[in-house]
Structure 1
C-alpha cells in the first residue's frame, strides 16, 4: 500500500543499516533524506521540519546522542514526530524519550514488516486526519493527552502503570489500551487486588494444584494463566500484600510462575497492565510497596486526570452514559434539561466518572419526565434544602452565559471579535456582558 508519498528523515551512522533502510523505504514509495551524524541532522531537519512526516533516529550517534537531536528540534516550530531505533541496553533512554514526546521506539534487531507498520502508524498526522480522529475517553485536552500516550504504548509489550483517583476511569483506559494493541484478539483478564481477600489472592492470580491446601479439590488455573497472550490487568495494585509482591516481580522479570502447591514452572505470556489510586513511588519501602516492583510496573506510566480537571468531558460523558442507560430501560428519556446540565457542570464530582455514571443510571431509572431534571441527578440536594433547592432562573441564565463566554474566549485566545462570532452576538453585546460578569479584564 502506498503511504501517500510520505517524506521520511533518517538519522543513522551505520552505512550498511542506513543504506538498507533507505532502499526498502524507497521501494515502499517513501521519499527518504538520510543524515549520518547528529549535527548534520539538526541542520537538515531544521530546514525540512514542516515537510517531514517522520524522523527515524538512532539513539547512539558518532557526535551527539539521538536524544540531543530530539531535544534541540523539539524547541523548533512544527517539529516532526520522532521514532527511535535503539539497542536493548538503551530501552530506558528510549522510554524516557517517549515520555518527552517521541512517538515510538524499536529495538535492534527488528523485523522489516513490523518496522514498516510502525513507521506508517507514527508518521505525522495531517490536519484532516486530526479532525477525523475519534477519542474514546473524552474531549478535554487532559484526557486526550492521556489517550495519545496509551496509543503510543499500545504497540509495545512493556508493563504499563495507570494512576489516577478512584473512579476516574483507569480500567476503561486499560481496556482501550488492550483493544488498540496487537493483543486485542486475546483475552483481557482483570483482577481487583483490593476486592479479593489477601489469603486467596495468590491462588486467584497464580492458580493452585489439586490438594495444595484444604478445599483444593482440583487444579485451578489462575488469572495469569487464563490471560494467555493477552493482557493481565491488575487493578488497585497498591493494595497487594507485600509477600505476594515478590512473586509478581518474578512473574514480570522471568516470565514464569508456579501454581500454589506446584513444582513445574508455567510460562507467562501476557502483558501486565496495572492501576492504582495510590502514590506508589512515595509509599515505597519495606512498610509500603516494593520499590523494585514499582519500577518494573511503571516502565510506561500514564495518569488519568480527575473529572474536576476535565470540565469539557462532563457533558460528553452525560450524553454517552444516558444513551447507554436509556437503551436498557423502557423509560422514554429525551435528554437533560438545561438546568440539569448546569447542575452537573457546577458539581465537584468527588467520585469522578464512576459517580457521574451512577447518577445518570439512577436518574434514568427514577425520572418521571422525558427530560432529566437537577433533582433526578442530585436528589440529596432537594432532600437537604427543601424549597430552597431552587434558585432564580436569572442566576442560572447568568451562570450559563458566563461559562459559555469564558469557553469562547479560551477557544479564541481572548480575541473578543472572534469570540463574539462563535457566540453569534455582536462585539458590543459581548463586551457589555463581560463587564457585567466581571471578566472584562481579559486581553483584547
Structure 2
C-alpha cells in the first residue's frame, strides 16, 4: 500500500547508490519509484506526479536539469531535490532560481539527505475536502504554500499566466493571515496611467499638481495594517520602482507634494505574468526590487496543467452566475463536461468564467451544453470528425516513430533525439505526452516499480 509519509521518485543510474537509497527510503516509510534514467523518469512523471523528486543531474540518457525544466510545469510545486557529484555553483544557482528546492553534492550523508527530504515533505498537500482553490494536486500544493506563508509578514510574489487566479490566491493569503479583518487593497499597476500611478499609490497633498484640490490618501495608506496587492507589478515605470523599493525597505513613504513621512504598515503581495528575471537582465526591472518582492515565490500553474480543476471551477462560476439567469439552470450536460475537459484554456480561469457567464445569459435549456460554452464550434459537421480522425492518425504515427527511435538506440535519449531531429527536452515532452515507457527489465537488475 502507498506510504503515508509520501511518494518519492528517485532518478539515479548508479545501481549501487540507487539501490541503497531506495532501500533506506523504504525503511524510513516512504513509497519509492526508482527510475534508472531520464526517459524512464519522464515516463514515470507522465503516469503520476510524486510528492518529491530526488534526481541525479548526470544521467546516461540525458540530464536531471533538462528533466526538471521539461516537467517543471507538471510538477507544479512538488519539492525537487537534485544531486550531483560534479559541484558547480553556477548550475546550483541556475536550478534554484528555476524552482528547484534543494541541491546536494555527492557523496551524500544519509542523515542530511533524510532531514532535507523530511523538511521538504513537511509541505503537505491540503486535503481535498479542505481545499479552497481547487481539487487538483497541483493547486492544492499552491494552497499549502499559501497557508504556510499566511502567518508570515514576508513579501510574497505570485507568478502565473494571465487569468490563472493570482488575485484569488492573494485574497486567500490575506484571508488566512492575522490581518484578515484589516483592508485588502488591490492595485492594477498596468491599468493606471504612469503619470497618475505615484499619486494613486502614495497619495497626494492639496495643490501638489493641477487638479489636486484636496488631500488624497493613496493605496499604501488606505491598506493600513492590512494587505497591499500590487498586480502586474512588472509594469511599474523605473521611477516608481525606486520609490516602491524604499517603501519596502524603509517601511515609510511621503505623499506627493508633502513633507510628512508616514509609516507603511501593510503586508505586500505582488503578482505578474511576465518573467521578472528576464526583465532584470534586460534592464527593465530593478534587481534589488526583485529581491525585495521575491521572498516567498508562489507559481500558479495554468489551467491546462490541472484539468481536474476545470469542471470544479465551472460549477462554481455557474453557481455564482445563476442568480442573474432569467431561467432556472440545472448544470452542465455530458457533452459540455467533455468539451471543457478537452479544451486547452489559453485564457485560463478567466476564459472559463467568461464562457460560463455567456452560457448562463444565452442558454435556452436548463442543462448547459457544449454549444452554449463554445458557440464558435456550433454546427460541427463530419468535417470535424474527419479532422479528429486525422489527428488520431498523426498521433499514432508520431508514437510509432518515437518508440522506434528509442528502441533502436537502446533508449539513449541523445541518440534518439538526434535521429528524430528534435532536442532532448522536446523528446522528454513527447515521451510524456505519448505515454511511452521503457520496457521493464526481466533480468537480475533492480526493479523500478513503486514500493
TM > 0.5 between the two? yes
Task: Give, in angstroms, the shift of residue 337 of structure 1.
Answer: 1.0
| SS, match of residue 281 in structure 1 | helix
How many angstroms does 1:133 deviate by? Answer: 4.7
Partner residue of 2:136? 140
In the alignment, structure 1 residue 273 sits paired with structure 2 residue 269: yes
> Does residue 1:177 correspond to 2:177, yes or no?
no
1:255 aligns with 2:251: yes
Structure with more contact order per residue of length (Cα contacts < 8 Å, sep ≥ 6): 2
> Alpha carbons of 1:369 and 1:251: their partners in 2 closer, same or farther (altered >3 Å)?
same
Deviation at 1:345, TM superposition (A): 1.1
Instruction: Compare 238-247 and 315-324 and name the one that shifted more.
Output: 315-324
Distance 1:236 1:440 in 2: 39
Distance 1:327 1:347 in 2: 26
From the superposition, tell whether residues 72 and 304 of structure 1 become closer, same or farther in structure 2 (CA, over 3 Å): farther
Query: Can you give the 5+ residue segments of structure 2 that lack an aligned partner in the other structure?
Result: 1-24, 30-102, 393-433, 441-448
Aligned to 2:374: 378
Q: TM-score, normalised by structure 2?
A: 0.60
Number of corresponding residues: 299
Counterpart of 1:155 (choices 133, 140, 151) is: 151
Residue 237 of structure 2 is aligned to residue 238 of structure 1: no
| 8 Å CA contact retained: 2:229, 2:268 | yes
Partner of 1:352: 348
Q: Relative to structure 1, is the Cα distance of residues 276 and 101 closer, same or farther in structure 2, using a 3 angstrom cutoff?
A: farther
SS in 2 for 1:282: helix
Contact 1:139 1:316 survives alignment (8 Å) = yes
* Displacement over 6 Å in runs of 4+: 438-444
Which residue is equivalent to 1:335?
331
Whether contact under 8 Å (2:253, 2:264) holds in the other structure is yes
Using a 3 Å threshold, how does the CA distance of structure 1 residues 73 and 195 change in structure 2: closer, same or farther? farther
Secondary structure (helix, strand or coil) at the match of 1:283 reads: helix
Q: Is the 8 A contact 1:73 1:79 kept in 2?
A: no
SS of residue paired to 1:228? coil
Seen in structure 2, the aligned counterparts of structure 1 residues 389 and 215 have a Cα distance that, compared at 3 Å, is farther
Distance 1:356 1:260 in 2: 41
| Residue 260 (structure 2) aligns with | 264
8 Å Cα contact 1:235-1:274 kept in structure 2: yes
Gaps of 5+ in 1: 1-45, 51-66, 83-99, 104-123, 399-437
Q: Distance in 2 between matches of 1:208 and 1:259?
A: 5
Deviation at 1:388, TM superposition (A): 4.8
Hey, what does 1:296 align to over in structure 2?
Answer: 292
* Bigger Rg, which one: 1
For the 8 Å contact 1:193–1:240, the answer to whether it is kept is yes
How many Å apart are 1:329 and its aligned residue?
Answer: 2.4
1:211 to 193, 207, 211: 207
Cα RMSD, aligned residues only: 3.5
What is the distance in 1 between the residues matched to 2:321 and 2:159? 27
User: What aligned pairs does 1:395-434 form with structure 2 within 5 A after superposition?
Assistant: none
Pick from 175, 196, 199 the counterpart of residue 195 of structure 2: 199
1:186 corresponds in structure 2 to 182
Q: Give secondary structure in 2 for the equivalent of 1:149.
A: helix
Structure 1 residue matching 2:276: 3-state secondary structure = coil
* 1:330 to partner: Cα distance: 3.1
Q: Which residue of 2 aligns with 1:318?
A: 314
Report the Cα offset of residue 390 of structure 1: 7.0
In the alignment, which of 359, 366, 383 is matched to residue 363 of structure 1? 359
